[in-house]
Amino acid sequence: MANLTEDPVLEINGIKVKEEDTNLAIDNKVVVREEGQGERDMSPPGGNSIHRSGSRPQLDLSKAAIEGNFEEKDPIILLPNQSDDISHLAVDLGGSLIKLVYFSRHEDRSSNDKRKKTLKERLGISNGSRRSYPILGGRLHFVKFETNKINECLDFISSKQLHCGGMDSRWHSELPADNNAVIKQSSVSKLENCSIKATGGGAYKFADLFKERLGVSLDKEDEMDCLVAGANFLLKAIRHEAFTHMEGHKEFVQIDHNDLFPYLLVNIGSGVSMIKVDGDGKFQRVSGTNVGGGTYWGLGRLLTKCKSFDELLELSQRGDNRTIDMLVGDIYGGMDYSKIGLSASTIASSFGKAISENKELEDYRPEDISLSLLRMISYNIGQISYLNALRFGLKRIFFGGFFIRGHAYTMDTISFAVQFWSKGEAQAMFLRHEGFLGALGAFMSYEKHGLDDLMVHQLVERFPMGAPYTGGKIHGPPLGDLNEKISWMEKFVRKGTEITAPVPMAPNGTTGLGGFEVPSSKGETLRSDASALNIGVLHLVPTLEVFPLLADPKTYEPNTIDLADPSELEYWFTVLSEHLPDLVDKAVASEGRTEDAKRRGDAFARAFSAHLARLMEEPAAYGKLGLANLLELREECLREFHFVDAYRSIKQRENEASLAVLPDLLMELDSMSEEARLLTLIEGVLAANIFDWGSRACVDLYHKGTIIEIYRMSRNKMQRPWRVDNFDVFKERMFGSGDRKPPPHRRALLFVDNSGADIVLGMLPLARELLRRGTEVVLVANSLPALNDVTAMELPDIVAEAAKHCDILRRAAEAGGLLVDAMINTLDGSKENSSSVPLMVVENGCGSPCIDLRQVSSELAAAAKDADLIILEGMGRSLHTNYNARFKCDALKLAMVKNQRLAEKLIKGNIYDCVCRYEPAS
């Protein structure tokens, strides 16, 4: 018998919780057992909620139940009604800025229905043993405030109730697929003594304020430990985290996480620390200097009377250091000192001219003083950093800290110093999240949250409106509810210049630092905020995997079009802008054209236009940019303004129209010989691919005729040879030549594209042919809607309708578990499916017209393991992305080109040309 305690306990389905530790909303009856007093009812009179303290976690235990085995030592409790407001929070309280990193759970979770279970069983997908208290399926948010506005920061934390979940990471175990929150039994009693992880000097300075305002204590973490932990995580887990910055040009660097260590981490705050990092938790401070950001600000304030660090930086943009610095040319009568390789414009002595000139401080321009001071300090930090890297044989040097904060000239001068002294052998690199290293490291110090197990393919960075800059002005927290987003956007449109305010340009001809020439900029107009990068929200999706059939994942690049070309970038921005009115119209129509929908549609249009304007100004603002990223950004922006599926009604109409003529098409196909049928099927896929609402040319076609007329026109364009035509090679693989009859493929993955004719009259008949030949077929579709693309959620119903007219599809769909919930009226009523190969549907893990095969769903990865044929269909999946991808198995890429520029650039052809590209296994 269990020992009785003095404290009363709440008992929920046999699990006992200390009463004093809970302020919880409870729906079912709560019984308290007290020693020697029997039971008493704690249910609230006339209601189902108990008052909750503002400083305690708002856990909803209504309908709480044990998951799994009751005999387990520490069973998991399901919280089916728990909201998403419990989050981890970590803070870095610096002297100038407060940085917050917090976690929130995902809202969108697919249901764990019978189809899913059947699919997992067939593909051998196991949930496996849950790791200890992992954070799964959530988002990491990055926010910053000026330290002198700490009360605004505390208001933000309080309004989002972020402090309520910081006491123990075990509140954030994996959500099962049925949307229930889960907690460990042993965690229920840990609601008292709430604390949040904190680092930086303010963790001591503001400890009492946090306790007074929020009722939480600050659990202090070592600053250096946090700094290194944050850097290691970012460099291993974020694909384009590191970048170089030379002469105003930013270039992202992909670092193999297996070859990351050792490196030198240079943190430039008030002073400078130089840390040799040898691995996770393995580092030592090897050097440093007291000449850092504090020196620049302190001397700058004394010499120029500037009130802030940013004001001092802005002054430097208008400076000319030749009036203060002594140059080599000043010593040698305007000549170079060529014998030792110094040009006349090289700085011989920073502030050296002040020695010989009979001037007072007020005779020098503050702008010139600021620039000279900035270059002197940046140059010396760069030089000392390189010497320490040389000392330990390190090739990589990462710079971070408050001093840099996205300032272009600062990064350029440090980069030039490292390049000059190393003769190009070492590189200065910078980090997109550099301001958040400490806060992220503090966040990772929560015990056993599983974040350190995440890899680069399991994180997706997205950029909602309000995502903060790392450098430049502070724009405040991300936005909350929809009304706030729209009002913020309206403000953004009216006052956009305040948000991206340009800083005055530097004059031409300013001189360089000691030892090398002046860092120049492209177009000689480098602004102080020209390299300010936006920090998005990191979506943690541990169910994403690298597609296992890529021939070489390390060299794989999904984007076919290189947007580093400014003309290419401008063209695609124009395409997206021109398509915007039609997209808004469809989105508003999808929700009945209500006033609310119109308002959100208008806000979406201005928000996405603001994204495009920001990227046109600074293409690298959101990291390395590809066309796939742009299209994904558009879809995410739609979802941000609560447009779940802008083309819902259009897809339904086109599916119905196409399903109505499918029986006639199948009858026609069945009357053909095998070889003639295969050609007709490929022609059908290419012709049906014209139904693409993402193409301006196709949208114009929709306004001129019915979908049947468009389909007929498209079929009439199917004259061979196509612009890229490997059909005969594919046919030989399917049928062989002479007496050689190759075996059928074991399993084919069909990456499908658009709804309507594309899937129903194009890809389904092709899938049927493969099934007829004994090949298992997996239809791979989007996890989330994008334009008129069919989704994995919609496909089973489409297959069920098609199966009413076809025994092959019906038997295969039954074998693949697609018809478990459907009432199918088949032609012959037969039910035998034991000999039928399965037809399955899996989601690809994305919600974009394109697909990055470095991040696909675990379902797709599992299905790929037995596949020996991939068919990529549509412009997004086989032209915009993956046209140059190579695979371990046979691959067929099919698309009709619906963009004239792409046709010219990619295949030297014209709009409506066709691509049938077959590539045998590598």
Joined tokens for residue 701: 């076609």
H or E segment to which residue 766 belongs? helix 764-772
Phi, psi of 795 (to 5 degrees): -60, -45
Contact 436, 99 (CB under 8 A): yes
CB-side neighbour CA atoms (13 Å) of 774: 7
Q: What are the start-end ranges of the H helices in 481-565?
A: 482-494, 496-499
Locate 795 and state its tokens. Answer: 């496909």
Residue 168 one-letter amino acid: D
Backbone angles phi, psi at 186, to 5 degrees: -70, -15
Beta strands in 188-228 (DSSP E): 195-199, 217-220
Query: At 780, is the secondary structure helix, strand, or coil?
Result: strand
pLDDT value, residue 119: 80
The beta strand positions in 280-331, using DSSP E, are 282-289, 326-327
pLDDT means per 10 residues in the chain (922 residues)? 38 39 36 39 36 35 45 42 56 88 67 69 63 62 87 87 55 36 41 77 95 93 94 90 90 88 92 94 95 92 89 88 88 77 81 90 94 94 96 93 83 91 90 90 78 81 79 54 55 39 30 31 41 82 93 94 88 91 93 92 90 88 89 93 92 90 92 95 90 64 62 77 97 90 96 94 97 97 95 96 95 89 43 70 95 95 96 96 97 94 94 95 84
Question: Which amino acid is residue 125, in one-letter code?
Answer: I
Query: Under a CB-based contact definition with an 8 Å cutoff, are residues 93 and 203 in contact?
Result: yes
φ, ψ of residue 115 to 5 degrees: the values are -60, -45
| Residue 829 neighbours by CB distance under 10 Å | 7
Nearest by Cα to 162 from 615, 390, 478, 610: 478
Task: Work out the widest C-alpha separation in the chain, in whole angstroms.
Answer: 106
Give the containing element (helix H, strand E) for 330: helix 328-331
**Phi, psi torsion values for 806, nearest 5 degrees:** -150, 120
Cβ neighbour number for residue 371 with a 10 Å cutoff: 27
Phi, psi of 426 (to 5 degrees): -115, 155
**What is the CA angle 461-841-789, rounded to 5?**
55
DSSP state of 761: I
377 within 8 A of 295, measured Cβ to Cβ:
yes
Contact 688, 681 (CB under 8 A): no
Please list the residues that pair with 71 across neighbouring strands: none
> Which pLDDT does position 345 carry in this prediction?
77
Dihedral sign of CA atoms 44, 46, 48, 52 in order: negative
Match 């120049």 to its residue by tokens: 520
What's CA 624's distance to the chain center, in Å?
Answer: 12
pLDDT for position 445: 87
Nearest-CA neighbor of 289 among 266, 267, 274, 272?
Answer: 272
Q: Contact at 8 Å (CB) between 698 and 691?
A: yes
Residue with token string 């389905």 = 13
Three-class DSSP category at 17: strand
